[in-house]
């Protein structure tokens, strides 16, 4: 098994895949090297951390936290996605709970937010780009082009309050236009 996992990590530079999921609930029989991790994330690969094994038993919790911290030491938290890996509905948690688990795994506030919210979108875009690019044109579908059987996913994935914000008419008229450069963006808290 050790040889197979090490060969799999070395294969990261040649494969046609986007997510690497290591068995973090067991003790890893090798050390993830910074060069291997950097080469994989440089190619656009993401490492998946599943939090459901932490809920199942105490030994898996201990191993997952230790393995994640060594993984974070190798990659400084870049190129990570946090997923459930749940077998039962009781093991599912909300995104904020998953973000809180990211702190236990050794991620900072910014990298935790990216691992839960941003990197998942990035890995989907990367896979779509890799599969459907033809002469630098990206093919994508709008919501209107989805089959009827898949339109329920759009409603299920909307954040609460999105429809209300979209339904409000814009109160900015032409009389409020300002000339000159646009206002500068404010920095977020937490040095993100």
- Provide the pLDDT confidence category of residue 169 given band limits of 50, 70 and 90: low
Condensed to tens digits (0 to 9), the pLDDT of residues 30-45 reads 777 888 888 888 888 8
Instruction: Specify the higher pLDDT residue, 64 or 15.
Output: 64
Its pTM surpasses 0.95: no
Instruction: Specify the higher pLDDT residue, 167 or 152.
Output: 152
- Mean residue pLDDT across the chain: 74
Q: Which two tokens stand for residue 120?
A: 């998942």
- Structural domains for the chain: 2-132 (3.20.20.140)
Cα 101 to Cα 19, 54, 157, distances in angstroms: 20, 10, 22
Distance CA 40, CA 182 (A): 38
46-50 vs 19-21, strand pairing mode: parallel
pLDDT score, position 124: 83
Reading phi first (left if > 0) and then psi (alpha if -120 to 50, else beta), residue 76 is in left
Residue 155 carries which DSSP code? H
pLDDT score, position 49: 87
3-state secondary structure of 19: strand
Name the residue with tokens 């890893």: 28
Q: Which two tokens stand for residue 1?
A: 């098994």
For 33, residues 6+ apart whose C-beta sits below 8 A from its C-beta are 74
3-state secondary structure of 151: helix
pLDDT score, position 7: 63
The answer to whether 30 touches 5, Cβ cutoff 8 Å, is yes
pLDDT score, position 15: 63
Condensed to tens digits (0 to 9), the pLDDT of residues 54-98 reads 888 888 888 888 888 888 888 787 888 988 888 888 888 888 888
Q: How far is CA 128 from the centre of its chain?
A: 15
Instruction: Specify the higher pLDDT residue, 159 or 130.
Output: 130
């Amino acid at each position: 098994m050790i040889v197979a996992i090490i060969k799999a990590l070395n294969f990261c530079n040649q494969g046609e895949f986007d997510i690497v999921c290591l068995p973090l609930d067991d003790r890893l029989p090798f050390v993830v090297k910074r060069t291997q991790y950097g080469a994989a994330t440089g190619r656009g690969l993401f490492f998946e951390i599943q939090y459901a094994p932490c809920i199942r038993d105490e030994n898996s919790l201990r191993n997952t936290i230790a393995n994640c911290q060594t993984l974070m030491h190798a990659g400084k938290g870049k190129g990570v996605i946090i997923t459930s890996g749940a077998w039962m509905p009781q093991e599912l948690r909300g995104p904020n709970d998953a973000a809180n688990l990211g702190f236990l795994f050794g991620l900072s506030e910014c990298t935790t937010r990216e691992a839960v919210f941003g990197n998942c979108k990035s890995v989907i875009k990367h896979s779509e780009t890799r599969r459907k690019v033809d002469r630098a044109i990206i093919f994508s579908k709008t919501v209107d082009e989805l089959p009827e059987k898949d339109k329920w996913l759009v409603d299920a994935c909307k954040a609460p309050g999105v429809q209300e914000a979209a339904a409000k008419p814009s109160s900015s008229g032409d009389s409020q236009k300002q000339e000159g450069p646009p206002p500068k963006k404010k920095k977020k808290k937490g040095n993100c």
